[in-house]
Structure 1
Amino acid sequence: MSIQSPPRLPLTLHGGEVGGSPTWASAPTGADAPTETFFTASRAAFLHGRTEGDVYRNGHNSWSPSGWRAIADAPLRVANPVRRQTADDTRWDDPARHHSSWMIAVASEQGTLLLGCLDGETPRLHADTDLVSAWTETGRSASWVLLEGDELAVFARYRDLLVERHGSLSQAPGAVWSSWYSYYETISRADLDEVVPQLPGLGFDTVQVDDGWERLVGDWHPNDKFSAGMKDTVSLISDHGMRAGLWIAPFITLPDAEVVQKNPQMLLRDASGSLVHAGTNWGSHYYTFDFTRPDAQGFLVDTVSRAVHDWGFSYLKLDFINAGTVDGVRSQDVDREQAYRTAIETIRAAVGPDTYLLGSGAPIFSSLGVLNAVRTGPDVAPMWDNYATDDPSDATAHNALSNAVSRLWMRGLVGLDPDVVYFRHRRNLLSDQQMQWLKDCATLSGFPAVSDPPAWIDAEDHDELRTFLTTSPATEQVGRYRFRIEDREVDFGPVFDDSDSFYPL
């Protein structure tokens, strides 16, 4: 790269400098490539001068709302503080300014500006009609890049820089059948005995046993519905030529779990010594662990090793792992996202490089290079919207789809799981167009997953299901919400028609 002029935007740094490797320069891929400034700082701010345009917000974890909003309008956020504890980051929530985790972008007719962290401790950002600002939670210096140019090129360049810095795990998810959106917590070995033999003929090669197999969240042993044990369940799946996957949430525990009674010293506490409530689900709050403690790390190793090495699962869906980043007093004074990363690195070391690790509720930035894939939106549902809520993190097809489409720029950086699609027409309130959007997003994400039992899918839809599961068509992004799948153009613009957006779709 050739060194050119200093940054054209008024840039203010605290605790850092412009420079390093490299300084202000043009990216090496042609005249239309974005200009870029690399710098280190604990805090940074620049005046962008765009009073009209859109702001791109990337949420903290898998379920956190992400996408574009008009810069002059209210920010995209989870308003309910109880839900926010689970579905986003409570510490830096702002009801007035646009706020984001690890990167933010401002787009207008003048072009797109993106300020993103390359490596740093819990990076956060704000944007308004004058200023974009960034900082690290610990106040320690981080590596940043400021990009300016065409919207698609700016996001692509940022993705490539993150791959250069953190790497990308290339193992594919396979064609996944999940038990969750059909059986939910009622899943049993008897249900699997009925469903599993039918799956290979439809194109499935991975079976993920979801929540409902365990005694209790926090007590990771099979319940009475799996009385023959989980190793026997793996045998059922592998005997039909498929990979066995397991849902598990090893970062959390419900209050009544055995580990809370026997090993309370491992749990994360606040400054007053009280146990931290890390989120809510299953009609209760739940706790998390202090993973800077050797005994908590040992518990984590024992839990995942049992699933992989004793039982034989080679695919783990790690759920509610955002709990590893909540505020608390840890035995070591480390950044909270670094504490989380230490925990997932502990899992990776325990299960080995060949085990597929999918993070749900995953803090994406601090998962790079460790997890194979992350969920990119809230839970899907067989309904487009829910009249009882306008929370963008709630389980609806619209929320799951809009989030997943808004994060498609990350494909190639980490595996993207937009959640399952629906082929069934019974027990389903989605229109044909809404179902097709979900299928197209899954194809663009490279993560085909379905939860419908074969008995729920009409025979005339089996060929389409096989094609969806077994083919990898060429894809291309041609606009913010427009993509090409082979020769067919997919326009997700109508999905976002009700959002407050200035920029033309």
Structure 2
Amino acid sequence: MFYRHGQNSWSPCGWRRLAEPPLRIADPRRRVTADDDTWDDPARHHSSAVAAIDAGDGNVLLLGALGLGTPRLSADRDTIAGWYEHGAQPWFAAYGPEDEVFAAYARQLADRLGSRTRRAGNVWCSWYAYYETITEQQLAKDVDDLRGLPFDVVQVDDGWERLVGDWQPNHKFPSGMRALADRITDAGMTPGLWLAPFIALPGSQLAQRYPSLLLRDARGEPVVAGHNWGGGYHALDLSLPATRDFLAELTQRVVHEWGFRYLKLDFVNAGAVPGVRAGGGEREQSYRDALALIREVAGDDVYLLGSGAILLPSLGILDGLRSGPDVAPMWQNYASDDPSDAMARNAVVNTLHRLWHQPLAEVDPDVVYFRSRLNLLTDQQLAWLRDLADICRFRAVSDPPSWLSPTELEDMAGYLSARPEIRRLGRYRYTVDGREADFTAAISPAAQAYPIS
């Protein structure tokens, strides 16, 4: 068995038999968005930053990078090979029980690159209720409904901005973002905001007026860093002083002028895509330097969550790391076998294989559900999501209180107020306050089918 660690939050992560095809994203358009396409290999098992081979006797052989420079690994039969795309940095190798060698590797990473211990608390997020259709009026009602419930953060997600790259409120938020942040604060919660600071859509004013800020390829064309919002989006060249000025001004405005103290930084992997960086520098180092700038301007007391985050260059800077693709109110989409696609099973599988990140930063498994409205998840699937969020100690919900029945509202409040004791029994088995939570069936392909009757 080979352990593949995905390059960023959405990249596939898990164990795969060496005799089987490698765990990867087959669709090239999706692979550009959710993985490091440069080192994709359809034939050989490959990994980012760290890899392991299960010896079959309870022990694993682990090889992990301890520095930046875009470390990659591959495996063939009983051999792991590791290299850096740029430069030479040290490696960590260990053989022993799985939990012990991964814990030892995490300690080495913390010593060399840093760690964060700040906790987000319970988060309410707008995304899985409204997606991009959020409005100031609707959020004002939801904030009022959230008063008195055990939430610490209200995070406004995508849909508030004029266009990705142009970070000013659109017509749906006529009172402005400061007024919304104040409303959340007055309700006793921390205001949070979604940003994608390292990318811009081609039609944005940023891309149109300041094309020099866009990362270029060897032909001088803007790099397409991924696909969303109906087309491709561009990465910013984070090595440029002008781009750093843009990021500093954006962070200053959002945090210190508007008052948001929790930032969800999305699509940040675009900051490390291949390209010709005008200011020079290695791509992971440029990514890390840009995150460090955001941290410096925001301040140490602002919670920074990375989605699409790359593990090693995020350490010591980001408080939380999304651990898988977006969840969804469905277990599996039968039109897709993409392991990075938005569905609950993919979120669970990837998070289970990234729990060893916990000493380094909070592991964000994405939201849990309590609503029956617009929800196709079974009771077992809902329980897996909730137990996993408890294991991560990162609990987020997107259900508006007005969508919940009295029983669902009571269940949500009780869940968010509990502080269960967690124990690890094995790779996929835990106890939550003494009750066993076994995720083995969630990992098994046989668990993907919905019951017929």
State the TM-score bracket (shorter-chain normalisation): over 0.9
Partner of 2:324: 377
Task: Supply the AA of the counterpart residue of 2:400.
Answer: P
Distance 1:491 1:184 in 2: 31
Q: What is aligned with 2:382?
A: 435
CA contact (8 A) 2:329 2:343 kept: yes
Of residues 438-447 and 457-466 in structure 1, the stretch that sits farther from structure 2 once superposed is 457-466
Matches within 5 A, 1:10-89: 54-89=1-36
Shift of residue 214, structure 1, vs aligned partner: 0.4
How do 1:305-324 and structure 2 match up within 5 A? Answer: 305-324=252-271
Question: Is 1:120–2:63 an aligned residue pair?
Answer: no
What displacement does 1:468 show? 2.1
1:120 deviation in Å? 3.1
CA displacement at 1:288 relative to structure 2: 1.2
The separation in 2 between residues aligned to 1:174 and 1:493, in whole angstroms, is: 28
The answer to whether structure 1 residue 401 and structure 2 residue 348 are counterparts is yes
Alignment of 1:130 with 2:78, yes or no, is yes
Question: 1:467–1:167: structure 2 CA closer, same or farther, 3 Å change rule?
Answer: farther
Alignment of 1:239-258 (within 5 A): 239-258=186-205
Q: Does 1:263 align with 2:210?
A: yes
Stretch of structure 1 that moved more, 227-236 or 114-123: 114-123
Q: CA deviation at 1:130?
A: 3.2
CA contact (8 A) 2:68 2:313 kept: no
TM-aligned CA deviation for residue 235 of structure 1:
0.9
SS of 1:278 mapped into structure 2 = strand
For residues 174-189 of structure 1, what are the structure 2 equivalents within 5 Å? 174-189=121-136
Largest Rg, 1 or 2: 1
Asked if 1 retains the 8 angstrom alpha-carbon contact of 2:327 and 2:343, the reply is yes
Is 1:232–2:176 an aligned residue pair? no
TM-fit CA distance, 1:313 = 0.2
The aligned amino acid for 2:263 is: L
TM-score by length of 1: 0.87
| Cα distance, 1:466 vs structure 2 | 1.7
- Say if 2:68 and 2:284, in contact at 8 Å, map to a contact too: no
User: How much does 1:332 deviate?
Assistant: 2.9
**Does 2:113 align with 1:143?**
no
* Structure 2 equivalent of residue 335 of structure 1: 282
Separation in structure 2 between the aligned mates of residue 457 and residue 194 of structure 1, nearest angstrom: 14
Question: What SS does the aligned partner of 2:37 have?
Answer: coil
Aligned ranges 1:453-492 → 2 under 5 Å: 453-492=400-439
Q: Give the TM-score normalised by the residue count of structure 2.
A: 0.97
The 8 Å contact of residues 33 and 226 in structure 2, kept in 1 or not, is answered as: yes
Residues 110-151 of structure 1 deviation map (CA, whole Å, 9 limit, x = unaligned):
42100001123111000121321000001x221111110111
> Equivalent of 1:97, from 44, 47, 58?
44
Gaps (5+ residues) in structure 2? 447-453
Distance across 2 between alignment mates of 1:261 and 1:157: 48
**Partner Cα separation in structure 1 for residue 287 and residue 208 of structure 2:** 24
Distance 2:419 2:84 in 1: 39
Q: Percent identity?
A: 52
SS in 1 for 2:73: strand
Q: Which amino acid aligns with 2:73?
A: L
> Do the aligned residues in 2 keep the contact of 1:175 with 1:470 (CA within 8 Å)?
no
Q: How does 1:131-210 map to 2 (within 5 A)?
A: 131-138=79-86, 140-210=87-157
Indicate yes or no: 2:311 matched with 1:350: no
**Partners in 1 of 2:409 and 2:429 — Cα distance?**
28
Question: For 1:291-335, what per-residue CA distance to the aligned partner results, in whole angstroms no more than 9, with x for missing partners?
Answer: 111001001111121100110000000000100011111123311
Which residue of structure 2 lines up, in the alignment, with residue 292 of structure 1? 239
Q: Distance in 1 between matches of 2:438 and 2:147?
A: 32
The equivalent position to 1:283 in structure 2, one of 230, 234, 243, is: 230
RMSD: 1.2
Separation in 2, partners of 1:333, 1:455? 51
Deviations 1:206-242 (A, max 9, x none): 1000000001111100011111100000111011111
d(CA) in 2 for partners of 1:460, 1:87? 38
Task: Give yes or no for contact 2:223–2:275 (8 Å, CA) kept in 1.
Answer: yes
Letter of the 1:485 counterpart: V
Shift of 1:200: 3.0
Residue 34 (structure 1) aligns with: none
Letter in 2 for 1:154: V
- Distance in 2 between the 1:164 and 1:301 partners? 28
> 1:32 maps to which residue?
none
Give the Cα separation in 2 of the matches to 1:466 and 1:93: 44
Q: Secondary structure at the match of 2:38?
A: coil
Q: What do the CA deviations read for 1:181-204 (whole angstroms, capped 9, x no partner)? A: 001111011011211112132211
Matched, 1:364 2:311: yes
1:363 Cα deviation (Å)? Answer: 1.0
User: Partners of 1:116 and 1:248 in 2: how far apart?
Assistant: 31
The answer to whether the 8 Å contact 1:120/1:143 transfers is no
Rounded Cα–Cα distance in structure 1 between residues aligned with 2:271 and 2:367? 25
3-state SS of the aligned residue for 1:483?
A: strand
Residues 409-454 of structure 1 deviation map (CA, whole Å, 9 limit, x = unaligned): 2112111111101100111000000001000111111111000011
Displacement, 1:472? 2.5
